[in-house]
Amino acid sequence: MISVSRDGKSIMLCERDQGQPGVWLWIGVDDADEFFAEFSANGALIRSPPQNYSWACEFEVEDPDGHVLRFGSEPKPAPAE
């Protein structure tokens, strides 16, 4: 078990007996692009780069146990036509 903290917020991640492989977790952040750049620079296993949806701009990383962490921020405005 490990606790991951940032800016006074924490999540606990477990392996083997206390979790099911393949769990997906969505984490809201201020700027998904900023987090993506940091995760990429630090060698995270990126499942998908930032994509803009109607509900959020988000990307996915996978932890060593196969769990998917989705990081998302407010959706980006649509380009002016």
Name all domains of the chain by residue range, CATH numbers in brackets.
23-75 (3.30.720.110)
Kindly report, residue by residue over 53-76, the tens digit of the pLDDT: 999 999 999 988 788 999 999 999
Q: What is the pLDDT of residue 19?
A: 65
Kindly report, residue by residue over 27-57, the tens digit of the pLDDT: 999 999 999 999 999 999 999 999 999 999 9
Q: What is the pLDDT of residue 65?
A: 79
Q: Is the pLDDT of residue 13 over 90?
A: no
Q: Whole-prediction pTM value?
A: 0.79
Q: How far is residue 35's CA from residue 75's CA, in Å, rounded to a whole number?
A: 15
Q: Is the pLDDT of residue 14 over 80?
A: no
Q: How far is residue 41's CA from residue 30's CA, in Å, rounded to a whole number?
A: 18
Using alpha carbons only, how large is the chain's radius of gyration in Å?
Answer: 14
